[in-house]
Copies of this chain bind each other. A is one copy, B any other.
Amino acid sequence: MDNLITFAGGTYGRWKVEKVLAVQGDTLKATDRVDVVTGSSSRTSSQPVWTLHGFLSNPRYATRRELDQLKAIQPPLHRPEAMHAALIPIRKTAAWWELAQDERREIFEETSRHTAIGMGYLPAVARRLHHSRDLEEPFDFLTWFEFAHSDAPAFDALVHALRATPEWKYVEREVDIRLVRDGSE
């Protein structure tokens, strides 16, 4: 599947793990590296310590206005200067998933300003969202971010701002894995 991405924590991959922060709930085991692979199988020859899967899909909350604003300003992945990355798997509570679409949208944007907050950190921070819940994975979402070394403090501010929103009351598990690209891989 071309829209399925596998993240494999182990000894292989171009991203070296800098630190693993247990933000909420059970953490993931710190590994030397994380490999990011398109498709369901890892190209790693050794056994990964953990693997997480998620698929790329259409936006679930953004309005036309928000999508157009994002498209005008959001950077692509793989910028040469973006040597830093974060993989942030989160799981939301059952209460979140029992909400209707209008209730989730209200909390996501009208109350928590999720997209608006993120927009304040563009074009510094590249972002790709992977959906995991429908695959019955341990997390609901895996978000991957890339940014330059000089934007690392701004990225910290971004995740702190999001964690302070009403939306984050519905987050029951969150791990924040910080990575640095290793040119030798």
A58 at the interface (CB under 8 A from B): yes
| Complex interface: stretch among A25-33, A97-105, A164-172 | A97-105
Is B1 touching A136 in the complex (CB atoms < 8 A)?
yes
A67 at the interface (CB under 8 A from B): yes
List the B side residues contacting A66 at CB < 8 Å.
Answer: 100
Give Cα A92–Cα B104 distance, bound, in whole angstroms: 24
Is A67 touching B134 in the complex (CB atoms < 8 A)?
no
Is B100 touching A59 in the complex (CB atoms < 8 A)?
yes
List the B side residues contacting A3 at CB < 8 Å.
Answer: 134, 136
As for how many copies of this chain the complex holds, the number is: 2
How far apart are A148's CB and chain B's nearest CB, in angstroms? 30
A29-70 contacts to B, CB under 8 A, are: 55, 57-67
Is B64 touching A102 in the complex (CB atoms < 8 A)?
yes
A156 at the interface (CB under 8 A from B): no
A2 at the interface (CB under 8 A from B): yes
Give Cα A59–Cα B101 distance, bound, in whole angstroms: 7
Q: A65-B100, A131-B134 are in contact. List 7 more A-B contacts (CB 8 A).
A: A1-B136, A2-B136, A57-B134, A62-B101, A64-B100, A67-B100, A101-B105
Can you give 25 contacting A-B residue pairs, CB < 8 Å? A1-B135, A2-B136, A3-B134, A3-B136, A4-B136, A55-B134, A55-B135, A57-B133, A57-B134, A58-B97, A59-B100, A60-B60, A60-B101, A61-B101, A62-B100, A62-B101, A63-B101, A63-B102, A63-B103, A64-B99, A64-B103, A65-B100, A66-B100, A101-B105, A131-B134
